[in-house]
Amino acid sequence: MTAAAKLPASVRHRNPGAMGLGASAKKFGAVKANKLGDGETIALFPTTQDGAAAMFHLLASQTYFGKTIAEVITIWSGANNKKRKNATLRLNAYLSEIERETEWTREDYLDDDILGQPETAIPFAKAMAKHEAGEPYPFSDDQWLAAYDKAHDAKVKVAKAAPLPDALLAKLAEVSDADLGQKEVPGKAANPRMIEWYADAGHPEIKSDEVANCAAAMCSWLERSGCANPKTLLARDFLEYGTKIDEPVENCIVVFWRGSPDSWQGHVGRVVRWNATTIWCHAANQGNAVTVKAFARSTVLGYRLPIPAVRSVTEIAFNPSVQRKVIGGVGAIGLFLYNCWTALVGWATTGAQFAGELVGILPETANTVTSTVGAGKQLAETGGVAWPEALTFLVLVCAIVGGLVATIKRLRTVNPWANDEVVS
């Protein structure tokens, strides 16, 4: 065995947190992952600074930020995977390592008090790296600081480019909570609110509340909270909706399988809370009513974040298609107005001549008609462009403006099935 092979896997892969190949790892240059002896995979980074920066970046993501340290390490270490041997013992060993190396306990929360400044974030990351390597990680304090700064800069840029949909999630919770307790009506009658769900889901023809309605309710809640509405009655369709995330966040959408993981049946709702084994889901069609119910995490098919129903004005303004149309439209309108202006100047001159003819310079009717026709010719010649060509300019301007309006309408409508980058 070579000396390099004897090094801990996290050191060999320049990956202090022993992370997999998720979005944060890819953001900092990881392009491949290798499988370890225990079946886990670990991403390979170009430099250790990249690996450490990715670690800070991922810890600050929605997957981990705001959770207790016990919850963070449960997810990070894979202790929530029932197939892992001695998962509980490994988890306790990991948490004990952090408690020995830092001032925090497993009940403390991973928030700005820890991640908000390098003086507290670095000791926490170093404790994790020590446990992952089985020994102090060979990375100096100055190097850790440089990695923290690199992650912080990237986080700021990400936040400006694609803010997390906290407001959407909060609104979704508010709207869906308002329906908590809605029940199906026995017999031929129907709950009018549930009939509204079907209409919002694109099926106004359904007038019975006995049709499976968890997906219809979710479509309605999304519609009324300002989110893109996929308009479907199939729960599993939500696996293609919005933005995929690897772990639950409060108020995100969760999809479960029913019958078997490979069947077409499913169930969809909103995540209320969770732990290592259980998801509490707010949804319709749970005992024929809107309730909060516990489900095993082993039945989860996926988690999704909602997306806005319309794009922001800023996003549309910087769309290349819009910019091309604006530039072309401004040029055509400018040229058209220039020709109109020169034509009006000529018209004023010719109009004065024509007025003079009317008061007696050429009183004869025939000459007056001839002069009027000449005025039209003069108008065109003075404008410097034939009137058919000016009319073409006008049509061009109208076409460009119409195309611009159509483009903006198309861009403002978000594709509810847009599958954005996985948030990990």
What is the DSSP track for 54-76? HHHHHHTSTTTTTSBHHHHHHHH
Question: Where a domain ends, among 133, 161, 189?
Answer: 161
Backbone angles phi, psi at 148, to 5 degrees: -60, -45
How much is the pLDDT for 271?
Answer: 96
Return the exposure string of 262-299: e unless at least 16 CB atoms fall within 10 Å of the residue's CB, then b: eeeebbbbbbbebebeebbbbbbbbebbbbeeebebee
Indicate whether 217 and 280 sit together in one domain: yes
SS3 253: strand
When pLDDT is cut at 50, 70 and 90, the band that residue 78 belongs to is: confident
Indicate whether 229 and 331 sit together in one domain: no
How much is the pLDDT for 390?
Answer: 55
How much is the pLDDT for 20?
Answer: 92
Indicate whether 202 and 122 sit together in one domain: no
When pLDDT is cut at 50, 70 and 90, the band that residue 31 belongs to is: confident
Under 8 Å between Cβ of 423 and 252: no
Under 8 Å between Cβ of 42 and 87: no
Indicate whether 149 and 171 sit together in one domain: no
pLDDT at 157 over 50: no
Look at residue 24 and tell me if it is in a domain: yes
Look at residue 114 and tell me if it is in a domain: yes
Indicate whether 150 and 224 sit together in one domain: no
CA torsion through residues 94, 97, 101, 105, sign? positive
Distance CA 356, CA 117 (A): 85
- Top-ranked range on mean pLDDT: pick from 112-121, 215-224, 413-422: 215-224
pLDDT at 96 over 80: yes
Under 8 Å between Cβ of 52 and 118: no
When pLDDT is cut at 50, 70 and 90, the band that residue 348 belongs to is: low
Residue in 50, 171, 62, 51 with CA at minimum distance from that of residue 110:
62
| Least confident residue range of 21-35, 158-172, 311-325, 361-375 | 361-375
- How is residue 314 written in tokens? 């800023």
- Top-ranked range on mean pLDDT: pick from 106-115, 215-224, 368-377: 215-224
Distance CA 172, CA 226 (A): 8
Indicate whether 255 and 324 sit together in one domain: no
Domain, as residue range, for 374: 313-412
How much is the pLDDT for 66?
Answer: 85
DSSP state of 135: S
Indicate whether 141 and 112 sit together in one domain: yes
Distance CA 1, CA 304 (A): 44
How distant, in Å, are the alpha carbons of 195, 211, 237, 381, 417 from that of 233? Answer: 13, 9, 8, 65, 14
pLDDT at 193 over 80: yes
Look at residue 330 and tell me if it is in a domain: yes
Indicate whether 9 and 156 sit together in one domain: yes
Please state the domain count of the chain: 3
Indicate whether 259 and 280 sit together in one domain: yes
SS3 387: helix
Look at residue 418 and tell me if it is in a domain: no
Indicate whether 143 and 183 sit together in one domain: no
How much is the pLDDT for 397?
Answer: 63
Report the half-sphere exposure of 113 (CA within 13 A, side-chain side). 9
Question: Where a domain ends, among 161, 182, 198?
Answer: 161
Under 8 Å between Cβ of 268 and 215: yes
Q: How many residues does the chain have?
A: 424
pLDDT at 239 over 90: yes
| Least confident residue range of 117-121, 208-212, 316-320 | 316-320
Indicate whether 211 and 108 sit together in one domain: no
How much is the pLDDT for 63?
Answer: 85
Indicate whether 378 and 294 sit together in one domain: no
Q: Give the pLDDT mean for 95-122.
A: 92
Q: Give the pLDDT mean for 125-130.
A: 96
Look at residue 248 and tell me if it is in a domain: yes
Look at residue 199 and tell me if it is in a domain: yes
Residue with token string 């007038």: 207
Q: pTM, whole model, 2 decimals? A: 0.45
Look at residue 420 and tell me if it is in a domain: no
Quote the Cα angle for 244-51-26, to 5°. 35
Could you tell me the CATH number of the domain that includes residue 272?
3.90.1720.10
Distance CA 417, CA 402 (A): 27
| Least confident residue range of 122-136, 303-317, 336-350 | 336-350
Q: Give the pLDDT mean for 304-310.
A: 85
How much is the pLDDT for 55?
Answer: 96
Question: Where a domain ends, among 144, 161, 178?
Answer: 161
Look at residue 422 and tell me if it is in a domain: no
Biggest distance spanned by C-alpha atoms of the chain: 115
How much is the pLDDT for 188?
Answer: 86
When pLDDT is cut at 50, 70 and 90, the band that residue 324 belongs to is: low
* Mean pLDDT for all residues in the chain: 80
When pLDDT is cut at 50, 70 and 90, the band that residue 87 belongs to is: confident
